[in-house]
Amino acid sequence: MIRRGVTLAACLLIGGTGHAARAQDALPERLQFAVYAAGLNVLNIISDVELSQQNYRIDLNFRTAGVFGALFHSDINSFVQGTWNGAVPAPVRFASWGITRGEPRETIIDYHETQPVVIKLEPKEDKDRDPVPSALQRNTVDTLSAMAMLVRAVADTGKCEGELTTFDGRRVLRITAHTAGLETLQSEGRSSFNGPALRCDFDGLQTAGFQHDESDAELHRIHHSTAWLAKVSPDQPALPVRVMFETTYFGHAIAYLTTATPKPPGALASGAAR
């Protein structure tokens, strides 16, 4: 129902602890977001981020909330571990597991240089979805690593220009980022943040792994998202404070940063590693 939008939005919500060369001086960060659509709190998201000069790890949990959660219960954990090849992320393992609309799901992808290898995919590849050829998987990264790279670029350059291709085990998505400039966000009851923020616009286009029952127009439609990044504490670089993305049935949804705190020692947003 909102999975494609959540997949793209989850990329935008991981935050970061700055340039990898300076990350050893920054505390791991925990970000919490509340997502609203049609005036209702439909999702809650927690992400933990650890970056160092050589490595990175991102843990993320999102679960449905309120009336929407009672009708379409979802609780998904994801994590990635990887290294840096210069400014480019090189994931080692990506895993995602949990419940989507009451059904168990699990994905484990290992990376052999630039080639992802799907270790586990539950449920199995859908009969009504085109399989993604190995050649189209090559040189892709997982969604969390993709946005880690873009957030790092913002910390380094103050801009969010770039293009990345992601593969989540079922579909390939090309994400393009554009710098829209500084905007002033007004204070709202759903988030305490107000003030200037860097606006980054994202276009997501699916290029492989299409479902057979989708219309031709939907298959080739570009999905738009916007993230606003700003400093929430003096010793941290710009972090996402608000994200707007598309959903299938609710139209636009907005994620509001509710808290940004140092990550508790030993705590993982995703619960446990795979």
Better pLDDT: 78 or 193: 78
Range name among 135-149, 163-177, 245-259 with the lowest pLDDT average: 245-259
Residue 82's CB is within 10 A of a number of other CB atoms, namely 21
Q: Given the structure tokens 């107000």, which residue do they identify?
A: 194
Q: Which two tokens stand for residue 21?
A: 């060369």
Q: Is a pLDDT exceeding 80 seen at residue 6? A: no
232 near 26, Cβ under 8 Å? no
Q: Is a pLDDT exceeding 90 seen at residue 247? A: no
Q: How many domains does the chain have?
A: 1
- Could you tell me if residue 119 is inside a domain? yes
SS3 category, 157: helix
Q: Answer whether the bond into residue 131 is a cis peptide, omega within 30°.
A: no
- Could you tell me if residue 30 is inside a domain? yes
Question: Residue 199: beta bridge partners?
Answer: 181, 228
- Could you tell me if residue 274 is inside a domain? no
- Could you tell me if residue 108 is inside a domain? yes
Return the closest-CA partner of residue 93 out of 85, 84, 104, 83: 83
Please list, in sequence order, all residues whose beta carbon lies within 8 angstroms of the beta carbon of residue 235, skipping any fewer than 6 positions away: 26
Task: Please report the pLDDT score of residue 246 as a whole number.
Answer: 82
177 near 226, Cβ under 8 Å? no
- Could you tell me if residue 144 is inside a domain? yes
Tell me the pLDDT band of 9, cut-offs 50, 70 and 90.
low
**Range 87-98 average pLDDT:** 93
- Could you tell me if residue 218 is inside a domain? yes
Q: Is a pLDDT exceeding 70 seen at residue 19? A: no
Range name among 8-12, 97-101, 210-214 with the lowest pLDDT average: 8-12
In tens, the pLDDT along 126-144 reads: 778 899 999 999 999 998 9
Q: Is a pLDDT exceeding 50 seen at residue 187? A: yes
Angle at 99 between CA 81 and CA 97, to 5 degrees: 20
Range name among 36-50, 151-165, 198-212 with the lowest pLDDT average: 151-165
Q: Given the structure tokens 């939008």, which residue do they identify?
A: 5
Residues 7, 204: Cα–Cα separation, whole Å? 10
Residues 118, 88: Cα–Cα separation, whole Å? 21
**Range 185-208 average pLDDT:** 89
Return the closest-CA partner of residue 98 out of 108, 88, 90, 89: 108
Residue 104's CB is within 10 A of a number of other CB atoms, namely 10
Residues 148, 256: Cα–Cα separation, whole Å? 19
Radius of gyration of the chain (CA): 17
In tens, the pLDDT along 21-80 reads: 344 444 557 889 999 998 899 999 998 878 777 888 889 998 999 888 888 889 999 999
In tens, the pLDDT along 222-234 reads: 888 999 988 877 7
Domain extent for 61: 3-262
Q: Is the pTM of this model over 0.75?
A: yes
Return the closest-CA partner of residue 259 out of 30, 43, 56: 30
Angle at 222 between CA 172 and CA 13, to 5 degrees: 70
- Could you tell me if residue 267 is inside a domain? no
Residues 6, 225: Cα–Cα separation, whole Å? 10
150 near 144, Cβ under 8 Å? no
DSSP codes of every residue in 150-171: HHHHHHHHS---EEEEEE-SS-
Residues 97, 101: Cα–Cα separation, whole Å? 13
Tell me the pLDDT band of 167, cut-offs 50, 70 and 90.
very high
150 near 162, Cβ under 8 Å? yes
- Could you tell me if residue 271 is inside a domain? no
